[in-house]
Structure 1
């Protein structure tokens, strides 16, 4: 069930032609539910061989030897590769968050060293997947074990300040928080912990590599084909002038942080394919996916909160520690959000990474803020109890229009509107604060609430948009469909901005042969791509208008700025109409399509170059904090005799900018709440003696349909003029078009042309595609 508080303005003045802002089913949905969608491991190539992994059975040490005879003797086994074969074959690259491309800098077959349990120690290739798996099981490995530390309190765990691990990190602080806490009339303090948790997408972490002479094609589910392409080329020492690397990523069967960038196993499969002279596919087991990809690490939070008798915060001290690997300078962090969420005059934070003998963690279901906000919101609720205040009222008294640490204003601050809307829809007024006062038979009933927050990110991107002779459109970009509905949203936007039916728009994503774009994540996908598409559509509208009003044109003499494109026609104010397909066919050769490049205002001077070469280039609004907000509500039942927990109802009210497709936004929001339920009550990876002991869906518990309660999403309007100032109107425009935050489409801020752009007077575009092979786009000149 969902609710809209209001229906914001959603499109052109001609409401009948509005597409954005109205619910639209997923265009890619039918292919997924009928099995016609082609995933990476579905690619059927001639003479395909299959790989299987052998992973380390000790947490730390070295490989002392192999017994490969039994495996090699199996019919159909083609190769068994170990560090003896591949040492030095894979060159080092940095972690994505350190300016590189990889989800981990670790190279598993580079030596006999074992850095963690589950590390790849051998790759077996055979004619069939079943033979490869059986042979991998027969590979004997002898180890020389070494002391290890795999949990925060293990002897040998190395605790370091996050600022020492990551030089750019700063611990937010303001005033003298220690003294302020000691003097606070009301104080709460506690330790809050979250466990190790793992992604368990239905699609496993597969890869397929095929060589064709000097061309390497990789089929792999990834949220950043650019990072995989450029990073893999660097790992294999390939000269881009001689060897072409293409990465293809179709639909992704589960992402949200799981498929960060370049994987450790991709280079190994590519090397095996080159040695054998035939394509090689790897489909790892689910158990192996716990160690060959990233995960959410355990976190520990010591949090102290002080307030005056009126409930206004006077001190916040948040000290956090999180697990990290020995070999990557990467750790999840989040006190930048907890320090800025509420008004407080004295704040101190300190984050530490605990370096362990485990694989490198990473984003999980995107935000690193999840465990940090869990700790803060738990402390806020304890403070409400200590003060005898309603938890929403306490949050109201500590609301702030500016970041208390830096003084920067929020572009919008709809947190309390979310609480008001959510409380009304949830029935918060029925809450009885006394312990045990709310019951349903033997069940004790409780109502709870918490704040949600997520900083808005935006990144450079490029795409190709073209009108087809039949009156439709085609959009192409190297971005990805990770399940957030971007395919549908791009088609909806092109439909509204170009006046073509949604069903006539084709969207092609996830291929490095397409115009480069950034990482699909960080709540930046839609914000970035909608800017880019709007720019391309504006160029095409101008061309169509010029053709229509030219002497002899169907709308000759009309004001091009007042033309309306809708329903496959161009209409002039005097009532004359021109068929869109006919206008397209009358355009000069090559001018029915354009490549648009968007670089956000305030991006660094190398932002576009970083994007083009597959490096991270996420940015934020300058001079202010642009955040999405929400208010979560839960009804929880605890059995008085058994302690069993049930959650019959969840409700969330969210302000995430203008909602461009309410159907997709609601799906994400309700799905996120079910994920939160699973994270809080079910999901936990058991770490024992350096091993993950429940690496399967039988013992790693995720929320199922039987666990999912009644879930409601309330959409709260949040037009953000700071992030998304009004845009000048142009041909075919009747109003400024705005997006919504993050993957739920925050907004379209001002953009500037990249510094490396060159103008093509014949097309009137600005493009910046240095290093792009000319044959990839017939509309680009050799010099572009």
Structure 2
């Protein structure tokens, strides 16, 4: 096996005549010193005076009611200050609106709202004490009497689960049935993906402190304004009385995107005690206090001519959801538009079970739906005796087949050609099982990566001082993706100053509002707002970027400050109002009236499978991605490689294991939930293919946070088949799957 390595390059920048700007340089991360020295303060790190500590008590049944609490032993523990249950908090907190209206994504019923239990792990009580250890001990002494309602619908395959077709997601073009019936080559296959949890290093934490009637919340968040407005609704107070601060987030990946049940409870506890209260949920509780990747099932049917051209494509998906909320990602909107085909059907079904509501997890729908489609395409390539790259080439299209709309730009085959050359695909032996290295069977596989390009309304404030220093601020979020760095670089380029002269503030509802930090939309949304504010400063000075500092120095002014709002393409004029009510949602992708916009890429992997033990290793991975303008190659590289590693984990390691008797998670910890470690990651190369697209947004940015994970699992599946001749269609791939497969 090769030594672990990670490489990157920007392909075609010079040949395309693209001069590197201040933004395109691989500048060091703005916040790197704070992070490596430990001075970066995450929400749970904030030291509040006289802080009390909270601990969640969660349900130990999957469905039923609480008949009684016995709190005697818990209250007897010295240092216990308060215990919240549905019996002690009255009618607070209130019900809140749906997602994107300042409300929940997950579990929209009222926190501690009744005796009803909807899933294992549901919060049923909160203990507040002088120390964390006291609160934990008291929580364990609470005696709860339940009335269970077995058996639970534990999984997507449970007989008790209820299936609901989601008609608004239906796609019908042409006559699929007739075209499929007469197609000379057909694929009809089913695929599955398991529940998976984000498991960010930073646990789910909330600290609340009241100063009079003003509430300050310290909580890791991808969307502080959603938290502010949703919490105001729950607590029945004016939003102006709430400030949410989240200047650093220690990993999120969708899990910290929206309001969850814990925040209002901790705010109420702090108000009751008239002192700050801090909650840090346990790792196990993290599996149910927020969203996760739902189990999915897929049925893919492909019909093609002998030359490989698709004539019929059907992709139907099933996604697990809770009984309380219908949440489905439904990425057939992308898989049906990816390749040229005249007859298409797309269907999505929600399957309700006795589980907490799933949510966003890095490339939420695109990852599982791409696994199904891209594996099916590989199966078709073998039926046709055709190179899988060439199969994609003959079905490449610059016009999406569902609505006949043009792609703003489409560099898919440039990505395949670039990645194939770097990978050495021309040396591939086509016959499965024919490549070998001593005791290891060697397989090569590839797949398409894709992610729709979204942007949302955002605002920014930029101040230029007479000494040439710049300050830029917005209520966006630093999740580790490089938001601080991007903001500094865009402002520096627009005002013609060194990036070292720029300071940045973010993650605070007192700052200009911004879009949720999700859907690869942060840079595409916020960079145009920063550019607009900087442009206003240049206009006031009457100069170009290169002359800003000199003009400011001679202007006689101490500083110039400009505020800008930008509306994302396709959103109505009055949508800016929603920006100030926690409703700044990304928009774009396939939902625009006149075009389709997405980032595209190609994933290549080499797997090695031990001939006797069936151990599976990913020895090499090469990805090439076309994602519009690259603001900072260093941070983009981290995003792409990180996503590719996520894809390896999704394919070979990750699965939230269920005890179907009570719908509880058996591996709700980092000891048993399998994740890739250094020994699992060998050579990874991420290539950035030059692409200019000024139609997507003013910055020409498509976003890279999600695309790196898409297609990796399919490429690994396809490589396993190439190595062994055994087709695996159910994630994750484990040794026992190869031993069982005929």
Q: TM-score, normalised by structure 2?
A: 0.91
Deviations, residues 468-487 of structure 1 (Å, cap 9, x unaligned): 24321111111111111111
Q: Secondary structure at the match of 2:454?
A: coil
Deviations, residues 533-571 of structure 1 (Å, cap 9, x unaligned): 0000011112233xxxxxxxxxxxxxx45x7237xx43x
Cα pair 2:694 2:700 within 8 Å, conserved:
no
Cα pair 1:678 1:703 within 8 Å, conserved:
yes
Q: Distance in 2 between matches of 1:171 and 1:98?
A: 25
Q: Distance in 2 between matches of 1:495 and 1:418?
A: 31
Partner of 1:32: 35
Cα pair 2:335 2:369 within 8 Å, conserved:
yes
Q: Distance in 2 between matches of 1:154 and 1:522?
A: 31
Instruction: Work out which of the residue numbers 136, 156, 163 in structure 2 matches 1:159.
Output: 163
Q: Distance in 1 between matches of 2:540 and 2:17?
A: 22
| Residue 473 to residue 496, structure 1, CA distance change in 2 (3 Å) | same
In the TM superposition, what is the alpha-carbon distance from 1:283 to its structure 2 partner? 0.3
1:379 aligns with 2:376: yes
Partner of 2:717: none
In the TM superposition, what is the alpha-carbon distance from 1:724 to its structure 2 partner? 4.9
| Residue 388 to residue 19, structure 1, CA distance change in 2 (3 Å) | same
Cα pair 1:408 1:623 within 8 Å, conserved:
yes
Q: Report which stretch shifted further, 536-545 or 229-238.
A: 536-545
Partner of 2:718: none
Task: State the 4+ residue runs in structure 1 displaced beyond 3 angstroms.
Answer: 8-13, 97-104, 743-746
Q: Distance in 1 between matches of 2:392 and 2:398?
A: 13
Cα pair 1:224 1:260 within 8 Å, conserved:
yes
Cα pair 2:639 2:704 within 8 Å, conserved:
no
Q: Report which stretch shifted further, 366-375 or 391-400.
A: 366-375
| Residue 323 to residue 628, structure 1, CA distance change in 2 (3 Å) | same
Cα pair 1:526 1:745 within 8 Å, conserved:
no
Partner of 1:710: 683
1:582-601 superposed matches below 5 A? 582-583=553-554, 586-587=556-557, 592-601=560-569
Q: Distance in 1 between matches of 2:313 and 2:610?
A: 35
| Residue 311 to residue 745, structure 1, CA distance change in 2 (3 Å) | closer
Two-structure CA RMSD over aligned residues (Å): 1.9
Partner of 1:554: none
1:218 aligns with 2:217: yes
1:31-50 superposed matches below 5 A? 31-50=34-53
Instruction: Work out which of the residue numbers 684, 691, 713 in structure 1 matches 2:664.
Output: 691
Partner of 2:127: 124
In the TM superposition, what is the alpha-carbon distance from 1:329 to its structure 2 partner? 2.5
Q: Distance in 2 between matches of 1:744 and 1:283?
A: 27
Q: Distance in 1 between matches of 2:101 and 2:337?
A: 25
Cα pair 1:210 1:270 within 8 Å, conserved:
yes
Q: Distance in 1 between matches of 2:396 and 2:478?
A: 36
Deviations, residues 272-311 of structure 1 (Å, cap 9, x unaligned): 0000000000001000000001000000001111111111
Partner of 1:735: none
Q: Distance in 2 between matches of 1:149 and 1:101?
A: 23
Cα pair 1:99 1:616 within 8 Å, conserved:
no
1:109 aligns with 2:112: yes
Partner of 1:734: none
Cα pair 2:58 2:125 within 8 Å, conserved:
yes
1:615 aligns with 2:622: no
Cα pair 1:525 1:743 within 8 Å, conserved:
no
| Residue 160 to residue 436, structure 1, CA distance change in 2 (3 Å) | same
Partner of 2:254: 257
Q: Secondary structure at the match of 1:379?
A: helix
In the TM superposition, what is the alpha-carbon distance from 1:233 to its structure 2 partner? 0.3
| Residue 224 to residue 291, structure 1, CA distance change in 2 (3 Å) | same
In the TM superposition, what is the alpha-carbon distance from 1:87 to its structure 2 partner? 4.0
Q: Secondary structure at the match of 1:330?
A: coil
Partner of 2:714: none
Deviations, residues 446-468 of structure 1 (Å, cap 9, x unaligned): 00000011110011111111012
1:565 aligns with 2:533: no
Cα pair 2:298 2:369 within 8 Å, conserved:
yes
1:647-658 superposed matches below 5 A? 647-658=618-629
Q: Distance in 2 between matches of 1:698 and 1:428?
A: 37
Instruction: Work out which of the residue numbers 19, 22, 40 in structure 1 matches 2:22.
Output: 19
1:507 aligns with 2:510: no
1:174 aligns with 2:173: yes
| Residue 12 to residue 3, structure 1, CA distance change in 2 (3 Å) | closer
In the TM superposition, what is the alpha-carbon distance from 1:366 to its structure 2 partner? 3.6
Partner of 1:606: 574
1:74 aligns with 2:77: yes
Cα pair 1:95 1:328 within 8 Å, conserved:
no
1:3 aligns with 2:9: yes
Deviations, residues 205-245 of structure 1 (Å, cap 9, x unaligned): 100011111100000001111100011000111134xx611
Q: Distance in 2 between matches of 1:597 and 1:402?
A: 32
Deviations, residues 42-90 of structure 1 (Å, cap 9, x unaligned): 1101110000000000000011111211111111110111110124201
| Residue 518 to residue 723, structure 1, CA distance change in 2 (3 Å) | closer
1:239 aligns with 2:238: yes
1:397 aligns with 2:394: yes
Q: Secondary structure at the match of 1:675?
A: helix
Q: Distance in 2 between matches of 1:487 and 1:398?
A: 40
In the TM superposition, what is the alpha-carbon distance from 1:155 to its structure 2 partner? 2.8
Q: Secondary structure at the match of 1:141?
A: strand
Gaps of 5+ in 1: 164-168, 546-559, 571-577, 726-737, 747-784
Q: Report which stretch shifted further, 224-233 or 598-607.
A: 598-607
In the TM superposition, what is the alpha-carbon distance from 1:146 to its structure 2 partner? 0.5
Instruction: Work out which of the residue numbers 617, 638, 649 in structure 2 matches 1:678.
Output: 649
Q: Distance in 1 between matches of 2:554 and 2:37?
A: 37
1:191 aligns with 2:194: no
| Residue 745 to residue 719, structure 1, CA distance change in 2 (3 Å) | farther
1:55-66 superposed matches below 5 A? 55-66=58-69
1:415 aligns with 2:419: no
In the TM superposition, what is the alpha-carbon distance from 1:604 to its structure 2 partner? 1.9
Q: Distance in 1 between matches of 2:673 and 2:30?
A: 33
Q: Secondary structure at the match of 2:533?
A: helix
| Residue 684 to residue 101, structure 1, CA distance change in 2 (3 Å) | closer
Gaps of 5+ in 2: 1-6, 708-742
1:469-508 superposed matches below 5 A? 469-508=466-505
Cα pair 2:101 2:583 within 8 Å, conserved:
no
Instruction: Work out which of the residue numbers 606, 626, 636 in structure 1 matches 2:607.
Output: 636
Q: Secondary structure at the match of 2:390?
A: helix
Q: Secondary structure at the match of 2:455?
A: coil
Cα pair 1:191 1:301 within 8 Å, conserved:
yes
| Residue 743 to residue 382, structure 1, CA distance change in 2 (3 Å) | closer
Q: Distance in 2 between matches of 1:716 and 1:380?
A: 24
In the TM superposition, what is the alpha-carbon distance from 1:367 to its structure 2 partner? 3.5
